[in-house]
Structure 1
Amino acid sequence: MDVSWTLWALTIFGLSALIAVDFFIGRKPHDVSTKEAGIWTIVWIALAALFGLGLLVFGESQASGEFFAGFITEKSLSVDNLFVFVLIMAKFSVPSHLQQRVLLIGVLIALVLRAIFIAAGAAVIANFSWVFYIFGAFLIYTAWKLIQEARSDDEEDEFEENRLLKSIEHRFGVADKYHGTKLFIRNNGKRVMTPLMVVMLAIGTTDVLFALDSIPAIFGLTQDPYIVFTANAFALMGLRQLYFLIGGLLKKLVHLSYGLSVILGFIGVKLVLHALHESGVHVPEISIPFSLAVICGVLVITTITSLIASKKQEAAEKGEKKDDSENVGAEK
């Protein structure tokens, strides 16, 4: 898809305007209700759908298909981010009324960092087609690691700060308590960060680790930097509302890691086939419609099996509690 600098500028301006509206509406710290989160989640998904349809009407059908495939993939991978966001909020004991501000700024930091990753990835792909082999192999390896982690009995229940975050904390210092929405305060004459600033940086920089697999994944669906950027932007911008909407349901998505591993492995294979095709080897390439069908199908199946498994687990736990109470009563 041939994208002019004017269209790039208009797109960035439009996205910035949407972010500004989102910030203005949520500027006052408050506890986000399920109703509010649900409404805004629908709004962001509707905006993404309109953008995709706009590509279909004013652009190309292939570009529209690539956008929807990329958006759904990034959205599904971003749900995995929410597990870590929950851990971060718990680690820093973020007050509930400040969580929406933390997520808004944290996601903005993540979006800027991802834009840099996308620009670098596009430049590398444009000059070195063999990088598809590396991307494909990395995604297949990541898929295998996800399966291993999902099958492991060890569950991460605490967030560990990365080296960059620790170095920033050491450089600036951190206040011992929250000070509303302030990011910096004066403490004994020294300017230090508040815990709120630390949490925002934690969410923004942690997302970079997720970008290491999500960016190659979307490049496996499209090599158009414009589609890659817009799909990432729309997927990330609705992440804050999604956090509050499905926060309580995250533990029930017990098979999500398996679903994501299948998607990443599938895209990894697609990348390797594409690399072979670019090298002159006659191999079948996977089309965007087929990719979209596989991604959606895996997510639907994973969600259904997760809810069924969670329901059975809850029933088993209730049965155990009932048996324990009956045993206690019999002993008395």
Structure 2
Amino acid sequence: MVPPLVWIVTLAVIIGLLAFDYFAHVRKAHSPGLREAAIWSGIYVGLALLFGVLVTIFGGTDMGGEYFAGYITEKALSVDNLFVFLIIMTSFKVPRAAQQKVLLFGIVFSLIARSGFILVGAALINRFSWVFYFFGLVLLLTAGHTIKPEDEEHHGDEADNIMIRLARRVLHTSEHYDEDRLVTTVGTRRMMTPMVLVMAAIGGTDILFALDSIPAIFGLTQSIFIVFTATAFSLMGLRQLFFLIDGLLDRLIYLSYGLAAILGFIGVKLILHALHENTVPFINDGEPVHVVEVSTFFSLAVIVAVLAVTVVASLLSPAGKAQAAITGMRHLTAQYLDLDYESDPEKREQIYEHLVSAIAKVDALAPKYRATLHTETELMASVDLAHSMHAQWRGAGGSGVLDSTGGRS
């Protein structure tokens, strides 16, 4: 039993970190650099590990093992969530400087939603032991769904979930963003900006993410304190991680298989635990079934091993490198052509430099991978337009505003 004082201190630390993140980084809209994202990602991971050490010291090795297993699993699932966040913000063409506020909102909303699911899940577990069967089946089904091939258009459906359809029906938003503001003035009217719709989309997907996230961590521990803190610390630093691994996300082509293996493993673990505590009448006449139970440290070892193999295989895969190079070129081209995405001339120059580097990587691919570009006529036309826009921008001395056709306005 965790003392109330420990709960109070822990909640104060988490709320304080979120408040600090907002006032120190998000309140003033800006595009975070790689160095800033790397430093703060490291700090938040360090704080999570330090908390795990404290849990181990004061709560024992079993409790510490449960925390680390839960934290690593939730962190891996949160990285997978970043894919959808990226697609949502790309679909809504969110300016880069405004993406920080969207991500922080997503983190806060996710923490609130998952806290609700944690309380409900704990109440169900305490009252009905058969819930472990249900959670196990949910994870096995989720694991199967995770490895189903899905195209980007299907992922884009995440941006048209129930919450955003409701928001579109109730709210009348402006056509353009006003930095990272939620409300703007159009003529004489006060209107919501598209940021409200983006946040509705993020909020809706957060609820869906919680449906597999919470059963997964309950499969590793039934301690509400560990479930909550592992979930909370896995979400901390997610904003910085997004900007740090933005270009790396497309390289992790086998991440879905790794996550499917982890969710499937935890699903089996839950069902074994349910059998061990069985009270369901039609299974062994309502008596417990003597089966092998998976220990916390074995679970931790499996999770770490699967993630390590998944990441290394993705980074070394020639297909992964090719996919990342082509997708990176596509994203950078779209970012450069979208004049609202980045208005800072210096940052636009950096995007163009990254685009040139991405094109060079694509040119260096093996012929069988470059051959796929022959059907990408729209992409190649966009690349040519980006070159043309940049040449005119440089010709204007790096000043002036270009329209979407490459001309000055």
TM-score by length of 2: 0.74
* Cα distance in 2, alignment partners of residues 54 and 157 from structure 1: 39
Aligned counterpart, 1:249 = 248
Higher RCO structure, 1 or 2 (CA under 8 Å, sep 6+): 1
Aligned counterpart, 1:57 = 57
After superposition, where does 1:302-313 map in structure 2 within 5 Å? 302-309=310-317, 310-311=320-321
Which of 288, 293, 296 lines up with 2:296 in the alignment?
288
After superposition, where does 1:137-286 map in structure 2 within 5 Å? 137-149=137-149, 156=154, 158-159=156-157, 160-185=159-184, 192-279=191-278, 280-286=288-294
SS at match of 1:113: helix
**Residues 133 and 30 of structure 1: CA distance in aligned 2, closer, same or farther (over 3 Å):** same
* Cα distance in 2, alignment partners of residues 18 and 318 from structure 1: 43
Aligned counterpart, 1:99 = 99
Aligned counterpart, 1:8 = 7
Identity %: 50
Kindly provide the CA deviation profile for residues 269-299 of structure 1, in whole angstroms up to 9, marking residues without a partner as x: 0000000111211111000100000000000
Could you tell me whether the CA contact under 8 Å between 1:107 and 1:203 is conserved in 2?
no
**Residues 187 and 136 of structure 1: CA distance in aligned 2, closer, same or farther (over 3 Å):** same
Whether 1:318 and 2:316 are equivalent positions in the alignment is: no
Whether 1:300 and 2:298 are equivalent positions in the alignment is: no
Could you tell me whether the CA contact under 8 Å between 1:110 and 1:205 is conserved in 2?
no
* Cα distance in 2, alignment partners of residues 210 and 323 from structure 1: 35
1:191 Cα deviation after fit: 5.2
TM-score by length of 1: 0.91
Aligned Cα root-mean-square deviation (Å) = 2.2
Aligned counterpart, 2:43 = 43
SS at match of 2:28: coil
**Residues 282 and 55 of structure 1: CA distance in aligned 2, closer, same or farther (over 3 Å):** same
* Cα distance in 2, alignment partners of residues 323 and 65 from structure 1: 46
Aligned AA for 2:300? L
Could you tell me whether the CA contact under 8 Å between 2:38 and 2:240 is conserved in 1?
yes
**Residues 305 and 4 of structure 1: CA distance in aligned 2, closer, same or farther (over 3 Å):** same
How many residue pairs match? The answer is 321
**Residues 312 and 178 of structure 1: CA distance in aligned 2, closer, same or farther (over 3 Å):** closer
1:106 Cα deviation after fit: 1.9
Aligned AA for 1:98? A
**Residues 236 and 265 of structure 1: CA distance in aligned 2, closer, same or farther (over 3 Å):** same
Q: Tell me which structure has the larger Cα radius of gyration.
A: 2
* Cα distance in 2, alignment partners of residues 19 and 323 from structure 1: 44
1:201 Cα deviation after fit: 2.5
Aligned AA for 1:174? T
Q: Which moved more, 1:168-177 or 1:14-23?
A: 168-177
Aligned counterpart, 2:88 = 88
Could you tell me whether the CA contact under 8 Å between 1:77 and 1:214 is conserved in 2?
yes
**Residues 116 and 196 of structure 1: CA distance in aligned 2, closer, same or farther (over 3 Å):** same
1:316 Cα deviation after fit: 10
* Cα distance in 1, alignment partners of residues 178 and 118 from structure 2: 35
* Cα distance in 1, alignment partners of residues 370 and 91 from structure 2: 35
* Cα distance in 2, alignment partners of residues 116 and 186 from structure 1: 36
**Structure 2 residues not aligned, in runs of 5+:** 279-287, 326-361, 372-409
SS at match of 1:247: coil
Kindly provide the CA deviation profile for residues 246-282 of structure 1, in whole angstroms up to 9, marking residues without a partner as x: 1101111010010000000000000000001112111
* Cα distance in 2, alignment partners of residues 220 and 214 from structure 1: 10
* Cα distance in 2, alignment partners of residues 45 and 178 from structure 1: 33
SS at match of 1:93: coil
1:167 Cα deviation after fit: 0.7
1:112 Cα deviation after fit: 0.8
Kindly provide the CA deviation profile for residues 207-241 of structure 1, in whole angstroms up to 9, marking residues without a partner as x: 11111111100000001111111111111121111
Could you tell me whether the CA contact under 8 Å between 1:107 and 1:204 is conserved in 2?
no
* Cα distance in 2, alignment partners of residues 191 and 106 from structure 1: 25
Could you tell me whether the CA contact under 8 Å between 2:76 and 2:259 is conserved in 1?
yes
1:144 Cα deviation after fit: 1.4
Q: Which moved more, 1:13-22 or 1:197-206?
A: 197-206
Could you tell me whether the CA contact under 8 Å between 2:322 and 2:365 is conserved in 1?
no
* Cα distance in 1, alignment partners of residues 78 and 211 from structure 2: 12
Aligned counterpart, 1:122 = 122
* Cα distance in 2, alignment partners of residues 81 and 157 from structure 1: 11
**Structure 1 residues not aligned, in runs of 5+:** 325-332
Aligned counterpart, 1:78 = 78
